[in-house]
Amino acid sequence: MALARVAGLVAASPVAAAVAQIDPRPLGEHRRVLSLAEVQTAFDFEPVFHGNVILPVYDYTAHGDGSEFTLRRNRQAFDWVDILPSRAAIPASQVDLSSELLGLKMKFPIIVAPTAAMVPLHPDGEIGMFKAATAASNTLMILSTNTSTPVAQVAPASPGGTLWAQFYPLQSLAATQQWMDTYQNAGAGGVIVTIDQQASYYERTQQDRNFGGRVARTAGPGAGAGSGTAVLTGAARYRINSGRLWYTWQYIDAVRKMVKGPLLIKGILDPQDAGMAIDHGADAIIVSNHGGRSMDYGPSSLEVLPEIVAAVNGRIPILFDSGIRRGTDIFKALALGANGVMIGRTARWGLAAFGTAGAQRLIEMLQQELVQVSAAAGCAKLSDIGKKAVKANFV
């Protein structure tokens, strides 16, 4: 009993939690985990997820690049933005946050971000996440290139749902065309090209490998992550990925010709890059640092959002991700100029904890939290959420 209490105290301590990220583990001292009916915030899902999966699966979701400075900064940045009190608060029933994104009608400005390999999180996998997103007010879901379920199986699994797909650049234009055909033939309406440095091999992942963990790789278009394992040799042993750092805007020009629907560029952190994305045919951009997974010691996504919004000046929609855990986080990103936000790790917590029902509950929880803070701030509609509602004090 004494040992159990010590273990609980260690798990709940701020120092232990900070190893991965600054989010709390509120259940560390509990004798049992919460049921789905009992969860009250997104943070309640995370320790259930932690207890459900093996360490390498948990660490893949939890960790970031290098020292994880950027991972932590993504969360800290939300603390540097105040929501200003309003004398014109309104009932939540009067809040309508519906909008339209590139022809797609959305009840809430929240999107499920592309994240890899969901079947290891829970047997429901990507199909479960898509069903959850659809059930939660037909929330748009973006399928990762590194899906553990082929897109041809995911797309028809939730009739009436909306599925787009994410893609990492390949130097072969023929292979790129094959991926585009696979996505579009399956019914993925939009394509998101990720142009940041991509997720690197993390030190924690390398450590897990020494104890029997493996890094999965994708076998080909539509194939799931986990279809094979890679033994790293040469420069790859030191986290140097030959598939990175070659991207060109000319490549984006070529992809633009292959994509029939909306083309979005993900990983923008610089105003000039935002302008270049527009010049090369992007229909929207996503301000993102890959959740702190692409390059350590970079800025948080939230810090650079206002200057990118100013540079774009309304020419195309701007989406935002990296670090969102609460409805207040979403409100702050919207107030600083984002047209919508994407949730990655947080959605994974819900799926891994309770499957499809958990993912749906988590998405709906964030939707309702956003409604509540909007009502308290006197914002009846999405266009009311602007710079006057917040005060940023970035450090």
| pLDDT, mean of residues 44-55 | 93
**How distant is the alpha carbon of residue 177 from its chain centre?**
25
Task: Give the distance, in angstroms, between the CA of residue 70 and the centroid of all CA atoms in the same chain.
Answer: 15
Rounded CA gap, 129 and 131, in Å?
5
Query: Do 100 and 198 fall within a single domain?
Result: yes
User: What does the pLDDT read at residue 217?
Assistant: 47
Same domain membership, residue 173 and residue 24? no
As a whole number, mean pLDDT of residues 273-280 equals 98
In whole angstroms, what is the distance from residue 180 CA to residue 197 CA? 21
Residues 165, 273, single domain; the answer is: yes
The tokens of 237 are what? 């042993």
Q: What is the residue whose two structure tokens read 């992942």? A: 205
pLDDT band for 356, please (50, 70, 90 cuts).
very high
The separation between the first and the last C-alpha atoms of the chain, rounded to the nearest angstrom, is 44
Give the C-alpha separation, 300 to 203, whole Å: 21
Domain assignment present for 219: yes
Task: With respect to residue 382, please indicate whether it lies within any of the assigned structural domains.
Answer: yes
26 and 88 housed in the same domain: no
Q: Which residue bears the tokens 């699994």?
A: 157
Asked if the structure places residue 139 within a domain, the reply is yes
Instruction: State the residue range of the domain holding 385.
Output: 78-392
The pLDDT value recorded for residue 60 is 86
Residue 71: the pLDDT is: 93
Which of 148-151's residues contact partners 24+ apart within 8 Å by CB, and which partners?
Answer: 148/116, 148/117, 148/118, 148/119, 148/120, 148/224, 148/225, 148/226, 149/118, 149/119, 149/125, 149/224, 150/222, 150/223, 150/224, 151/182, 151/183, 151/186, 151/188, 151/222
Predicted confidence band of residue 294 (pLDDT cuts 50, 70, 90): confident
pLDDT in tens, 61-115: 998 888 889 999 999 999 999 999 888 899 999 999 999 999 999 999 999 999 9
**What tens digit of pLDDT does each residue of 240-258 get?**
666 777 889 999 999 999 9
Q: Cα–Cα distance between 136 and 159 in angstroms, integer? A: 13
Mean pLDDT over the full length of the chain: 86
Higher pLDDT, 14 or 270: 270
On the question of pLDDT at 212 being above 70, the answer is no
Q: Check residue 85 and give its pLDDT.
A: 85
CA distances from 61 to 32, 116, 138, 348, 352 (A): 23, 9, 25, 8, 10
Q: Which of 336, 391, 394, 384 is nearest to 82 (CA)?
A: 391
Per-residue confidence (pLDDT) for residue 223, from 0 to 100: 39
pLDDT at res. 8: 45
Judge whether 228 lies within some domain.
Answer: yes
Evaluate whether residue 57 is within a structural domain.
no
On whether both 16 and 138 belong to a single domain, the answer is no
Q: Report how far residue 88's alpha carbon sits from residue 320's, in angstroms, rounded to the nearest whole number.
A: 27
3-state SS, one letter per residue, for 232-284:
CCHHHHHCCCCCCCCCCHHHHHHHHHHCCCCEEEEEECCHHHHHHHHHCCCCE
What H or E segment, with its residue span, contains residue 152? helix 151-154
- Tens digits of residue pLDDT in 299-343: 999 999 999 999 999 999 999 999 999 999 999 999 999 999 999
Indicate whether 72 belongs to any domain. no
> Domain for residue 53, yes or no?
no
25 and 84 part of one domain: no
Please indicate, yes or no, whether residues 207 and 136 belong to a single structural domain of this protein.
Answer: yes
Q: Whose CA is closest to 26, among 40, 36, 37, 326?
A: 40
Residue 176 sits in a domain whose CATH number is 3.20.20.70
Whether residue 130 sits in one domain with residue 4:
no
- Tokens of residue 380, six digits: 């009846």
The answer to whether position 286 is within a domain reads yes
- Residue 30 is a catalytic residue: no
Tell me: do 18 and 85 sit in the same domain: no
Share of the chain above pLDDT 70, in %: 80
DSSP sequence for 306-353: HHHHHHHTTSS-EEE-SS--SHHHHHHHHHTT-SEEEESHHHHHHHHH
Classified as helix, coil or strand, 168 is coil
Based on the structure, what is the number of domains in the chain?
Answer: 2
Q: Residue 112's closest CA among 126, 92, 96?
A: 126
In this structure, the answer to whether residues 275 and 354 fall within a common structural domain is yes
Residues 4 and 82 in one domain: no
Amino acid at 159: P
Q: CA-to-CA distance for 111 and 340, rounded, in angstroms?
A: 7
The HSE-up count of residue 6 (CA atoms within 13 Å, CB side) is 3
By the 10 Å C-beta count (0-12 exposed, 13-18 middle, 19+ buried), 352 is classed as buried
Domain match, 234 and 369 both: yes
